[in-house]
Structure 1
């Protein structure tokens, strides 16, 4: 792991400057990009929120670029397996990383050993939106609100547990326990789908899960949803209160999603990918389809994404420190 001072110290100008170093030869070599399949590496399992939304965007991206797109799910180690794989891949635009705050905001403060640098080892391409998280519980638990759940957990300390399949879920659960003054057992999983399975079966009490993964189970009455984790209500679930509104004051956690490549990707490939991804994400019908999958879609420039990534490191450092989570 490169020192966190390095993470904070890499200025946005260094990324922009690196893009401007593209030589005429390099531009000529990438003029026919892409001429073969593009692999999109994901840090989560099939069926996760990132997987669901990426498959929709990937299909459109393949059509726009006249190339096949292949989804490669490399779940495990809090996304480190996938992140390390992409960091060491050729920077030719044929191996891309579709990831979230798990690998690029939270892991530096959750893991004692890092096999990649979230800033130095990657090229930001485009942010694609946010994946709001919500608190869901097993329907057999006699609570229909966060307030009622807190009362139950306080009445029987240590009885209730929360599952996690991502860094957002880990931090959300620990933050809930701290802010509400609860004694909750943390049960970690490799990814969200198996974690949800155990919540549905009643083996674990509750979970903070991304909307695309959890909503189908809520609609099927296999889970009860109590609140969203964001500061403001989600446009996707306007009737669901925020954790803050529900009485857990100061709760504000957002999960983002975006596309990156290995460090030092050619500028023209970055520009081309960014332009196509933005056109896709900004299409009204695509935004509607992504909303139905639980994603608030929007985008921006590579430079904006680069600055956002560096800012999020500070945000998640505070969240994790405040939650009292020790590095594993």
Structure 2
């Protein structure tokens, strides 16, 4: 009888254990996928959307960073160029991407501080639709001219433009970019009449500048400096308050004849707004580490840019302050998107 009772108890225990396991299985089946075990981030290819054409400054900087991230994260990081509408096409695409950390955006002062004031209707909200990761670089713009043009300095350019109103064409990488607005600010402060010619990115604009289809351009230094060094373009001035270490003999626009003039471009990495905080933190840490590497810093500095990294919160605050600053410039200059 004792043996029989022991067997019944043992059998009952097994049934209880089986019932418990079955209950756990059912419970797991109804849990959301996010709660279940998932591969650690990142486990696949990461895409950086560049909202401008290949060969421009945004593209150059993104490719330098992508190469470093590929090594740091152990997954391939590739570039997807989506130019147009002053960066708004690529920005919209990135804002609608899955918020899982696998689609990022190389944003600019144009896409995230200028366009909101320049365009009557934006396809995305530069603040609400993105999770800032970090700034990547600050970049001077460089006022360059085709050597065949009759001016070799800012003062000569202003004199020529005033003598020939509406006959000086200046190229840009697109309406609403810092390159465009640098020209609009120059027009306003120098009181000259020049014609804006927008392109879908810096590279095609520079191509026409080299071919003398347009006379001047306030280009980001990384995409113009090689042509200055080769003698294919004439540097008239830099747009920043101080001279660039890469071109120390080139004056600032303020020094060269337009007191108080200053315009600086910046570039930074962002993710879609709902990206989980742990992924944002991991991407920020990886980016900061990559940007601190001597070889990466040298590659960026050689382009005439200044490496810059910060926390997501600092970058978010910076974007908001830049939106206020450039909104004022847009209003005062009267600039509009073409």
- SS of the aligned residue for 2:219 comes to strand
1:145 maps to 2:149: no
Could you tell me which runs of 5 or more consecutive residues in structure 2 were left unpaired when the two chains were aligned: 1-32
The change in CA–CA distance for 1:91 and 1:150 in structure 2 (over 3 A counts) is same
* Paired residues of 1:109 and 1:327 also in contact (CA < 8 A): no
TM-score with structure 2 setting the length: 0.86
How big is the shift at 1:35?
0.4
How big is the shift at 1:192?
1.1
Counterpart mapping for 1:121-140 below 5 A: 121-140=129-148
- SS of the aligned residue for 2:258 comes to coil
The change in CA–CA distance for 1:33 and 1:206 in structure 2 (over 3 A counts) is same
What is the aligned length?
305
Query: Which of 64, 80, 86 pairs up with 1:56?
Result: 64
- SS of the aligned residue for 2:256 comes to coil
Counterpart mapping for 1:89-238 below 5 A: 89-166=97-174, 167-238=177-248
- SS of the aligned residue for 1:132 comes to strand
What RMSD in Å do the two structures reach over aligned CA positions?
1.7
Q: Deviations over 1:48-86 (max 9, x none)?
A: 111112111111101111001110000011111111111
Query: Which of 279, 284, 289 pairs up with 1:279?
Result: 289
Larger radius of gyration: 2
Q: 1:207 & 1:292 partners in 2: Cα distance?
A: 20
Query: Which of 297, 310, 313 pairs up with 1:303?
Result: 313
Q: Deviations over 1:272-292 (max 9, x none)?
A: 111111111122232111111
The change in CA–CA distance for 1:147 and 1:70 in structure 2 (over 3 A counts) is same
How big is the shift at 1:28?
7.3
Q: 1:82 & 1:314 partners in 2: Cα distance?
A: 23
How big is the shift at 1:222?
1.4
Could you tell me which runs of 5 or more consecutive residues in structure 1 were left unpaired when the two chains were aligned: 1-24
Q: Deviations over 1:290-328 (max 9, x none)?
A: 111232112010110010011110011011111111355
- SS of the aligned residue for 1:274 comes to helix
List structure 1 segments (4+ residues) > 3 angstroms apart after TM superposition.
25-31
* Paired residues of 1:42 and 1:75 also in contact (CA < 8 A): yes
Q: 1:30 & 1:211 partners in 2: Cα distance?
A: 43
Q: Deviations over 1:208-239 (max 9, x none)?
A: 10111111111221110111111222233222
Q: 2:71 & 2:188 partners in 1: Cα distance?
A: 47
* Paired residues of 1:282 and 1:298 also in contact (CA < 8 A): no
The change in CA–CA distance for 1:74 and 1:51 in structure 2 (over 3 A counts) is same
TM-score with structure 1 setting the length: 0.89
